[in-house]
Amino acid sequence: MSVSIRRLSAACGAEVMGIDVRQSPEETTVAQIRHALGEHGVLLFRDCDIDPEQHIAFSRHFGPLEAHVIGDFALPGHPEVFVVSNVIEGDRPKGAVYAGQYWHSDLSYMKRPSLGSLLLCREMPEVGGDTMFANMYAAYETLSDPLKKFVSSMKAVHDYSHAYDTYFSGLKERPPLTPEQKAKTPPVEHPMVRTHPVTERRALYVNPGFTTHIADMPDEESRPILNILFRHSTRPEFVYRHKWRVHDLIFWDNRCTMHYALADYDFSVRRHMHRTTIGGDEPY
């Protein structure tokens, strides 16, 4: 069966059909997926009833896998699988609770942020728990020329602690980072606009989750500019909202999208996901 691609929204996202993710894809298929990822930002593969080994094996075709800095959220026996879950067993969460409930691009706080992530839906409430994706090419391309020029000349600082200070403060399931975890994630600077290595298109590269400020600017100047950029990037016409079905696998590109996990569901209902994270390059 040949691979076909169907767009999911005007903003971004496409469904990929004709691939059995349990089989090792041909090199040409891998190239096709890489290209489609850069083009559409988000790729949906339906009906992926796969186990962690199959998830890992498929993901590895797109690059080396990263283990998350918080080792506690790894699937036992599979450090490459980051568990995103609200399920508590005993008194221990089975994964990262409240993960991604703010706009962010995975691992932008690392010197070499993640290329992309593959999130597999294992359990989902009937209503709610969608994930939104924002097209950061569109965000950049629709800025005014003076603002484009400004952001293209500047760097911004990204810090993992920012999410903890801003979104997780006071949540017992997400205690502050330990000194060791902080030492692994010192603040880093990245260009505010990055060039996608596959499409060569430019994308805005700042996100509310991890971007603390524009480098070399006082907060009173930096904060209002970042707020304008965050509001602009998440305009509804740039956003695709995915309603999950169990066994959906979504591969998103962290270089040209950011995402947001909606916390609009009944937390007594299980939402349980497995994520692999592909290593990436230094933004330029």
Q: Is 247 tagged catalytic? A: no
CB closer to ligand SIN, 84 vs 157: 84
Closest CB to ligand SIN among residues 117, 222: 117
CA pair distance 119, 53, nearest whole angstrom: 14
CA dist., res. 206 & res. 194, Å (int): 10
- Which residue, 143 or 250, has its beta carbon nearer to ligand SIN? 250
Q: How far is the CB of 158 from ligand SIN (least distance, A)?
A: 15
How many Cα atoms are found within 13 Å in the side-chain-facing hemisphere of 94? 14
Strands 14-17 and 42-45, by their bridges, are parallel
* DSSP single-letter state for residue 238: G
Q: Is-catalytic flag, 275?
A: yes
131 belongs to the binding site for ligand SIN (CB under 6 A): yes
- The pair of structure tokens assigned to 183 is 């030492």
The contact pattern for ligand SIN, residues 254-283, with x = CB under 6 A and - = no contact, is -----x-x-----------x-x--------
Residue 59 identity: S
Question: Contact 156/221 with Cβ under 8 angstroms?
Answer: no
Is 174 among the residues that bind ligand SIN (CB under 6 A)?
Answer: no
Residues 73-102 that bind ligand SIN (CB under 6 A): 84, 99-100
The three-state secondary structure class of 194 is strand
What is the closest distance, in whole angstroms, from the C-beta atom of residue 273 to ligand SIN in the complex? Answer: 5
d(CA 81, CA 69): 12
Clarify whether 106 is annotated catalytic: yes
Which residues sit at the interface with ligand SIN, rule CB under 6 A?
84, 99-100, 117, 119, 131, 259, 261, 273, 275
Catalytic annotation, residues: 104, 106, 259, 275
